[in-house]
Structure 1
């Protein structure tokens, strides 16, 4: 199972390198189901891996001028405050038995994993449908809406340890009129900053197995560089729907397992 887990580490970077996003959504399932971690630990480690790997992706985009720093700040600052609020205030104070109503008993771990699974479903649908239906609809930048979106993405990232790129990219295109390449590059920078600050603001990071986390992250970075080389020969748009179906199946599996067989 650990070997399969490290394969997922490679896959995280590989997918990110080929299609510019999406791979980080595999982190939490790998940590929970293959390395047998609880949901809080899994989201914490995922934040670190997502942050570091996205940073490498952002550096590559910066070299090609595909990052808008002003946009990253406008979107990122509200996100950061939102993430820190979730990781410092909300998560530590959620009771282990989150919902107890009659015969319905939902634990915190199950709640987080089901939320993550629903995010996987939304992300998979976006990948299957593609970005052809995402286009700029505004003549002037919509900064208030962008800030609101930043807060929402921060809440999601802080709660379940996912970057939320499939939400950020459409927001940057539709609300700020950014071209797709620049939206993806800017999204990677936002995800990197959000994830790493979310990781730092998490509890008990001093007790983490840093050797394991370093190895997992290093393998993901290797996957990223392999994916970037492959992307020069294969059109990532053609592979994105196939990966979307894979994520969809995984998301359904997580919901069924956590809701019916936990």
Structure 2
């Protein structure tokens, strides 16, 4: 029964990605950890493959509509993809099982990653609930593009740690520095997410055994979902749906905090 709910969740991930151009990927790790009972390290690795593959199909659809700028995507992807790969290949395997302990209180690696994920979910929820005249989570205050690339490198490290797409962090950079329109920024960010996620996943292939018999079917459901989302996006109010989903992600972030700290 839990496996059935997991595959329904995969479909939902793709549908939200198809409708809003982002956001759905933030649910991948919670579904893998809390419904399908995967270890957070494995879940973040699998999430990179699922998110990367699904975003790839979204990129193709947006490219056909003229909403992807490949040159800009590659320029912005280079610093972040380096951060993602280094994190998955070298940093994550070196994180100790117990990060901190004081008496009976201890912080394990799994709990640390899920708490970090909850914080990122909160930030993602904010970016979806923001007013229409805002562009996203404000982290790019530097005027120099070099400093922005340094920031993108650290964004890549964050993406590598939590296994999410990070579109809500990438889109503001594209809007501010590449001066792209919103729809083009969303499409281009999907291309960047695809590159980051799949190359980051190659670091995991070298560090762990991959259960392809699970991963391929789960990803297939997510890909089917993105085509459903792309089809029905013309018949629903995207802005209202994004806010509803933002509230859902916000609730999920508090749920993860509760599970990891109090349960």
TM-score of the aligned structures, taking structure 1 as reference length: 0.93
Alignment of 1:73-84 (within 5 A): 73-84=74-85
The gaps in structure 2 that reach 5 residues or longer are none
Alignment of 1:69-148 (within 5 A): 69-134=70-135, 142-148=144-150
Mapped contact 1:130–1:237 kept (Cα < 8 A): no
Pairing 1:213–2:177 present: no
Question: Secondary structure in 1 aligned to 2:204?
Answer: coil
- Residues 25 and 125 (structure 1 numbering): CA distance in 2 closer, same or farther, change over 3 Å? same
Q: How far off is 1:203 after superposition?
A: 4.8
- For 1:146 and 1:231, the matched residues in 2 are separated by 33
- For 1:18 and 1:245, the matched residues in 2 are separated by 16
Pairing 1:59–2:66 present: no
Q: How far off is 1:143 after superposition?
A: 2.0
- For 1:76 and 1:207, the matched residues in 2 are separated by 27
Mapped contact 2:89–2:207 kept (Cα < 8 A): no
Mapped contact 2:55–2:193 kept (Cα < 8 A): yes
Question: Secondary structure in 2 aligned to 1:243?
Answer: helix
Q: How far off is 1:260 after superposition?
A: 1.6
Cα RMSD over matched residues?
A: 1.7
Question: Secondary structure in 1 aligned to 2:255?
Answer: helix
Q: How many residues of Structure 1 are paired with residues of Structure 2 in the alignment?
A: 257
- Residues 204 and 148 (structure 1 numbering): CA distance in 2 closer, same or farther, change over 3 Å? closer
Mapped contact 2:73–2:192 kept (Cα < 8 A): yes
Question: Secondary structure in 2 aligned to 1:207?
Answer: coil
Q: How far off is 1:235 after superposition?
A: 2.5
The gaps in structure 1 that reach 5 residues or longer are none
- For 2:152 and 2:73, the matched residues in 1 are separated by 10
Q: Could you tell me which residue of structure 1 aligns to residue 241 of structure 2?
A: 239
- For 2:47 and 2:79, the matched residues in 1 are separated by 21
Q: Could you tell me which residue of structure 2 aligns to residue 11 of structure 1?
A: 12
Question: Secondary structure in 2 aligned to 1:232?
Answer: helix
- For 1:118 and 1:203, the matched residues in 2 are separated by 27
* Larger CA deviation: 49-58 vs 126-135: 126-135
Task: Map Cα deviations across residues 108-141 of structure 1 (whole Å, 9 max, x no partner).
Answer: 0000011011101110111112542129xx9xx8
Task: Map Cα deviations across residues 223-242 of structure 1 (whole Å, 9 max, x no partner).
Answer: 10111111011121120000
Question: Secondary structure in 1 aligned to 2:96?
Answer: coil
